[in-house]
Structure 1
Amino acid sequence: MPAANPVLIQDIPRSRNEPPPVFLIHDASGLLTSYFKVGTLGRKVYGIWDPKFDADGIGGWQSVKEIAEAYIRLIKRVMLRGEIVLGGWSFGGVLAVHIAHMLATSGRGLRVSRIILIDSVYPRCPRPEAQKEPAKLHHAPALPGINQETRDKLMTALMRATCLSDQWDPPSWALPRTGVLGTARSRDVDPTPPHAVLIRAKDLVPMADPAEKCPLDRTRFLPQLGWEDMLEGFVEQVIETSGNHYSVFDPEHRQDIPQHLVELIPATIRCCEPMVRDWQHQPDEHISANPPPGLYAVT
């Protein structure tokens, strides 16, 4: 894994009126593979990978709260004060929500103005029809071209994220949104949430047994993937994108993601030409053979 964390995925020339940077939190794998495939957003984009990716089940994280605290410290390596945008795919969206709440209640100099959930399922949906069956090995995504050691680490990370999501204690927010969003008026009052938007995959994950459903599709029948049960009105906008949970970043679908992100992130300035990293214009085969920071190496 790289020494830099966060990793700078996209850059722009320095200017007096730079837009708030985007921090994308890793998915359940702990890695940033998918975010290096996202098109240009016209602002600085950082990725946070799991610094405990190499830890076994005992040495890893013990709670979402613990991860959020650690990742706030990582964000402060590159930005101490000001406005930021948080986002994440899958488990990364859950982490983004918790980080935003901790920043809102702590007054640590950073304020989250927007949360972008990329097909993040609300893990604590109480509805009977959304109850999750025990995880099975074939529920995990295919991992072609990965050596056994890396595969074992990825499976450990996926199981750890699943357990932490199931035990997550969602934070409390106050609606309606008034005043400065993403802040609390006092320590005794729940903060108002930042603007929260959801990019939602249209399709179900295909299963070998048609009678089975992927656990990540258990709330697919709900418009907001269950977030309406955390707090009605928390998610302000839902945009559907092509593909299923695991394929939204595949070549045939991933051109939709940057388009949606550009639409969802206010263009406070879009006057700068982004400094695009070379790997963003490379085919997947080249990226696999020459992984940038935060990607696993395939064999």
Structure 2
Amino acid sequence: MHDYLPNPALIYEGPALPRAPLILIHDGGGTNFNYHLLNQIGRPLWGLANARLHDGGWWEGGIPQMATHYIGLLSKAIPDGGDILLGGWSLGGLLSLEMAHRIAIARRDGGTGAKFLVKGMVFIDSICPNFSPEMRARLPGDPIILSAQESEAMKLKDKVNVNMTHARMMVSFWELPRWEDGLQVPPTILLRAKEWFNRDPTKSFVDFAREDRYLGWADYSEEHGNFMKEIVDIEGHHFSIFDFDNLDDVTKKVRAAADRLDPLGF
């Protein structure tokens, strides 16, 4: 049987002086491994993995169902609620946006998540799926749901590949939330990888918006009060952000983004 870690996992407790925790949501591969590589950022740091990682990572209700479930997990992990920051690498940014929207609705109407206040979001090279038709293209085939026996026999890297395929499938039918009736998108900082993984867009969907400073978010941001407050370049390409040589850079910029969104008060 698998020895599962707590989800979300508390990576760092942070200083004695209370700061809003940063909760980083998994990428398309489903793990929160890369967030454990970050150095301390001066506040509590949590990493949230795909709760169905070992089953293949598929959710029938897609991104909205995932977001709803994850808010429930946060409510159990942080029972007192309070101010939080959301964020994540790649798919993690999209999930943060959906979670923030559902928390905002809960604060207005009641329900799970109402005890949280999302002070801001940190997207780590998260591409807006509306930017390119390819991001919305349906992948061929049906979801792969792993049985307990299949999951036990499969290596983690192969599960990550299955999760990645399912993530792209779910993004293809996800509708970005519309913030209406007085709801406001939390201020957001986008950390953008400097380098291309592959300049041929037919080979790398992560670079479809690489030439665009906003990675496709400009129109959506303008429609919702220009919530995207800053674009910050980080070292590496989409898949090398958390390589050893880039860890100091991404840690420093994640920390600076969190501090700008949640400054230390006196």
Q: TM-score range by the shorter chain?
A: 0.7 to 0.9
Is residue 247 from structure 1 mapped to residue 255 from structure 2 by the alignment? no
CA RMSD of aligned residues (A): 2.5
3-state SS of paired residue (1:255): helix
Q: 1:124, 1:168 within 8 Å by CA — same for their partners in 2?
A: no
Equivalent residue letter for 2:93: G
In the TM superposition, residue 134 of structure 1 has moved relative to its aligned partner by 7.7
Summarize deviations over 1:16-64 as a string: whole Å, max 9, x none.
xx0101111011111011111111101111111111011147x644310
Q: Structure 1: which 4+ aligned runs deviate by more than 4 Å?
A: 130-136, 210-213
Summarize deviations over 1:97-123 as a string: whole Å, max 9, x none.
110111011111101001000000111
Summarize deviations over 1:158-200 as a string: whole Å, max 9, x none.
01111111111111136xxxxxxxxxxxxxx141111101000
Is residue 95 from structure 1 mapped to residue 95 from structure 2 by the alignment? yes
Q: 1:42, 1:270 within 8 Å by CA — same for their partners in 2?
A: no
Q: Distance in 2 between matches of 1:262 and 1:96?
A: 17
Equivalent residue letter for 1:117: F
Match of 2:38 in 1: 38
Q: Distance in 2 between matches of 1:217 and 1:247?
A: 13
Query: Is the alpha carbon distance of 1:56 and 1:213 closer, same or farther for their aligned partners in structure 2, counting shifts above 3 Å?
Result: closer
Match of 1:86 in 2: 86
Is residue 152 from structure 1 mapped to residue 158 from structure 2 by the alignment? yes
Is residue 116 from structure 1 mapped to residue 122 from structure 2 by the alignment? yes
Q: 2:257 aligns with which of 255, 260, 264?
A: 264
Percent of pairs with identical residues: 27
How many residues align structurally? Answer: 240
Summarize deviations over 1:73-103 as a string: whole Å, max 9, x none.
0111122421000010000010001101110
Q: 1:121, 1:225 within 8 Å by CA — same for their partners in 2?
A: yes
Q: 1:52, 1:61 within 8 Å by CA — same for their partners in 2?
A: no
Q: Distance in 2 between matches of 1:270 and 1:243?
A: 33
Q: TM-score if structure 1 supplies the norm length?
A: 0.73
Question: Whose radius of gyration is greater, 1 or 2?
Answer: 1
Q: Distance in 2 between matches of 1:81 and 1:33?
A: 25
Q: How does 1:44-193 map to 2 (within 5 A)?
A: 44-56=44-56, 60-79=59-78, 80-107=80-107, 108-125=114-131, 149-173=155-179, 189-193=181-185
Q: 1:202 aligns with which of 185, 191, 194?
A: 194
Query: Is the alpha carbon distance of 1:94 and 1:211 closer, same or farther for their aligned partners in structure 2, counting shifts above 3 Å?
Result: closer
Q: 1:27, 1:92 within 8 Å by CA — same for their partners in 2?
A: yes
Query: Is the alpha carbon distance of 1:69 and 1:148 closer, same or farther for their aligned partners in structure 2, counting shifts above 3 Å?
Result: closer
Stretches of structure 1 that go unaligned for 5 or more consecutive residues are 137-146, 175-188, 272-299
Q: 2:6 aligns with which of 4, 7, 32?
A: 4
Stretches of structure 2 that go unaligned for 5 or more consecutive residues are 108-113, 141-152
In the TM superposition, residue 261 of structure 1 has moved relative to its aligned partner by 1.5
In the TM superposition, residue 269 of structure 1 has moved relative to its aligned partner by 3.9
Q: 1:205, 1:214 within 8 Å by CA — same for their partners in 2?
A: yes
Where relative contact order (Cα < 8 A, 6+ residues apart) is larger, the structure is 1
Q: Distance in 2 between matches of 1:192 and 1:239?
A: 22
Q: Distance in 2 between matches of 1:99 and 1:135?
A: 25
Between structures 1 and 2, the one with greater helix share: 2
Q: 2:139, 2:169 within 8 Å by CA — same for their partners in 1?
A: no
Match of 1:183 in 2: none
